[in-house]
Amino acid sequence: MAELFVLEFEGFDQKDYEKVNSALGIDMATGAGDWPPGLLTHSAGRTDKGWMVVEVWESREAQDKFMKSQLGAALQQAGVDRPPLRADWTSLHAHHQPNRAAG
């Protein structure tokens, strides 16, 4: 079953988020770009402390491969030099995208 990953960054804002996505070649306004294999859903937004990213992955291994091959460098390129305040995994009992066409 799918894995939920929650990252929370303190002192991180929308500009930082956009820098990271630019380094990854992903356009959040259109959804176009080079999304990593194994990523099922991605959501992000502001929190009281900074920024939160919530993702659903096919596996923890897929996210780890993405972190090592692309995301770590993109974070560094964007000037993100502190570890996340929170990085939590949850094995999901269910994961559905009800309004997404089957394909």
Cβ 8 vs Cβ 51: under 8 Å: yes
- Residue 67 CA to residue 9 CA, distance in Å, equals 16
**pTM of this structure:** 0.89
- Name the region of 21 (left: φ>0; alpha: ψ -120 to 50; beta: rest): alpha
pLDDT in tens, 65-88: 999 999 999 999 999 988 999 999
- Among 24, 22, 3, 2, smallest CA distance to 14 is for 22
Local structure of residue 74 (DSSP, 8 states): H
Mean pLDDT of 94-102: 81
pLDDT tens digits for range 8-64: 999 999 999 999 999 999 999 999 998 999 999 999 999 999 999 999 999 999 999
Q: How many other C-beta atoms are found inside a 10 Å radius of the C-beta of residue 24?
A: 20
